[in-house]
Amino acid sequence: MSRMTPRSYDERRRLESLPREELEAWQLRRLNGLLEQILPANRFYAEKLAGNELPLKSLEDLSQLPFTFKDELLAKQHHGVAANLTYPRDRYVRFHQTSGTRGRPLVVLDTADDWRNWSDIWQHVFDAAEVAEADAIFFAFSFGPYIGFWSALEAAADRGCLVVPAGGMSTPVRLEMMRNCGASAVCCTPSYALHMAEVAAERKLDVRRFGVRTFLLAGEPGGSVPAVRETIERAWGARVIDHAGASEVGPWGFGDSSGEGLYILETDFIAEFLSVETGAPADDGELAELVITSLFRPGLPVIRYRTGDLVRPLRDHSFPRRFVFLQEGVVGRTDDMLIIRGVNIFPSALDQILRGFPEVVEYRVTARSEGAMDVLEVEVEDRLHQPERVADELRIRLGLNVVVVAVPIGSLPRFEGKGRRVVDSRRRG
């Protein structure tokens, strides 16, 4: 049940304001249409869903279907491509792969129709960012095999914007190009937005005079971490709009100007939330793993995909759109939470605390073992060279004594893509 024509602005706003009952009816129709379209051609799901009664009679029946895990998409790859491919390879026109930051890269393919649907979904994100046809959008990321902002670039062109690709450039060259082209919006990771501002300051460039109005951030949780948002907005004089997605799933979430979290784009994705504590469906505000079913991508569908993203869903809220809202966006992942002497710590929580110090330029966190004891050490590039005040704040906020060490400015790694500021070097097993 692939989409035949792009949605107009009015249609997008109508769908975003549907009452819950009507939205769920829409989702059920699209889900059953998708299953009818991909079965039995999709061998992965033909085997996985064998014995389940289809079509589904209600969305509640979705919980009877099995979960999909990334490991099985990798383990059952077909000619080096994700196992959930529906059509022969000659039907596909786009090749991408996941970043591989959490294991082997997964190759994903898209048909021409599916790729157009990516663009259509991105229009919801651009609506939230109030991007207009007259805008010039600067894409500060390397145009490699990772999906990154590839779909956003094509969606921006479809919208009528001037797109400015800036792959394969140094940061100073990108800054000069950004200023010269009159970019009003920038797409990049939170880490790279911070790094560009740092490099500009070193070169005595006032980026607040560049004319950038909006940053569209993805790849990391920073766009919904208040301290990170505020640092970027203060440095650039621009507002931040968060976005979330994954190569194997699609562009499933977008933030708004409030910065309080992310909406699930429920016209094209069905979201479920599993309580971290019990594994049962989570209550509003409870920490939960996000499970996604994509409705827009018959060439590479995912049904009940365990994303590993940890969120706090709100179904009952007062935000402008009716979609489920995720407080604080993606707060962490099931595989990146650190447990230090019984204290659960997410990298996003560390980011919030450390970015609260304007003088801290960059940082790195290392978890290590000293005998039978786990220790958390934080290296900070601190203009004040006063690590004690940082250690005090971490102790108060985390309830944990943390070793904080000041290191020379510029000595820690910088990131264009996903930041890797947390290293767990403890012995395993």
Q: Is residue 299 left, alpha or beta, with left meaning phi > 0 and alpha meaning psi from -120 to 50?
A: alpha
Looking at the fold, whether 263 and 234 belong to one and the same domain comes out as: yes
User: 3-state SS of 297-310?
Assistant: CCCCCCCCEEEEEE
**Separation CA 161–CA 173 (nearest Å):** 22
Residue 115, CA distances (Å) to 99, 110, 126 in order: 19, 6, 17
Residue 308, token pair as written in the block: 């590993």
Write down the pTM of the prediction: 0.84
The stretches of 203-256 forming alpha helices (DSSP H) are 226-236
Q: In the prediction, which pLDDT does 429 show?
A: 40
Start-to-end CA distance of the chain, whole Å, equals: 47
Cis, bond preceding 40 (omega within 30 deg of 0)? yes
Domain that holds residue 378: 338-424
Name 270's Cβ contacts closer than 8 Å, sequence gap at least 6: 27, 31, 59, 62, 292, 293, 295
Residue 275 in domain: yes
| CATH code of the domain covering residue 65 | 3.40.50.12780
Looking at the fold, whether 291 and 402 belong to one and the same domain comes out as: no
- DSSP 8-state secondary structure symbol assigned to residue 249: T
| CATH code of the domain covering residue 408 | 3.30.300.30
Is residue 291 packed enough to be buried (19+ CB in 10 Å), middle (13-18) or exposed (0-12)? buried
Looking at the fold, whether 182 and 302 belong to one and the same domain comes out as: yes
How does strand 239-246 pair with strand 250-255?
A: antiparallel
Looking at the fold, whether 242 and 306 belong to one and the same domain comes out as: yes
- DSSP 8-state secondary structure symbol assigned to residue 55: S
Q: In the prediction, which pLDDT does 147 show?
A: 86
Q: In the prediction, which pLDDT does 345 show?
A: 85
Q: Is 139 in contact with 149 (CB distance < 8 Å)? A: yes
**Short-list 107, 90, 89, 91, CA closest to 99:** 107
Is residue 75 packed enough to be buried (19+ CB in 10 Å), middle (13-18) or exposed (0-12)? exposed
Residue 183 in domain: yes
pLDDT tens track of the chain, all 429 residues? 555 578 999 999 999 999 999 999 999 999 999 999 999 999 999 999 999 999 999 999 999 999 999 999 998 888 889 999 999 999 999 999 987 655 678 999 999 999 999 999 999 999 999 999 999 999 998 888 888 789 999 999 999 999 999 998 999 999 999 999 999 999 999 989 999 999 999 999 999 999 999 999 998 878 888 898 999 999 999 999 999 999 999 999 999 888 889 999 999 999 999 998 899 999 999 999 999 999 999 999 999 999 999 999 999 898 888 899 999 899 888 877 788 877 878 888 898 899 899 999 999 999 988 876 788 999 999 999 999 999 999 999 888 899 999 999 999 988 776 778 888 888 554
Instruction: Using alpha carbons only, give the angle 244, 320, 115 rounded to the nearest 5 degrees.
Output: 35
User: Which residue, 289, 308, 333, sits at the end of a domain?
Assistant: 333
Which residue reads 């947390």 in tokens? 422
**Separation CA 217–CA 205 (nearest Å):** 22
User: Which residue, 298, 317, 333, sits at the end of a domain?
Assistant: 333
Looking at the fold, whether 146 and 274 belong to one and the same domain comes out as: yes
Looking at the fold, whether 179 and 94 belong to one and the same domain comes out as: yes
Residue 111 in domain: yes
Residue 124 in domain: yes
Q: In the prediction, which pLDDT does 66 show?
A: 97
Q: Phi and psi of 171, rounded to 5°?
A: -60, -45
Q: Is 12 in contact with 30 (CB distance < 8 Å)? A: no
Residue 223 in domain: yes
Residue 28, token pair as written in the block: 């059920």
Residue 220, CA distances (Å) to 345, 397, 409 in order: 16, 22, 23
Residue 67 in domain: yes
Looking at the fold, whether 252 and 313 belong to one and the same domain comes out as: yes
Looking at the fold, whether 327 and 392 belong to one and the same domain comes out as: no
Q: In the prediction, which pLDDT does 289 show?
A: 96
Q: Which residues of 84-115 are buried (b: 16+ CB within 10 A; e: fewer)?
A: bbbeeeeebebebbbbeeeeeebbbbbbebbb
How does strand 185-188 pair with strand 214-217?
A: parallel
Residue 108, token pair as written in the block: 């994903």
Residue 85 in domain: yes
User: Which residue, 333, 357, 387, sits at the end of a domain?
Assistant: 333
**How many structural domains are present in the chain?**
2
Residue 429 in domain: no
Looking at the fold, whether 202 and 307 belong to one and the same domain comes out as: yes
Looking at the fold, whether 326 and 342 belong to one and the same domain comes out as: no
Looking at the fold, whether 349 and 255 belong to one and the same domain comes out as: no
Looking at the fold, whether 329 and 344 belong to one and the same domain comes out as: no
Which residue reads 């919006």 in tokens? 185
* Residues comprising the chain, all counted: 429
**Separation CA 366–CA 386 (nearest Å):** 19
**Separation CA 27–CA 58 (nearest Å):** 10
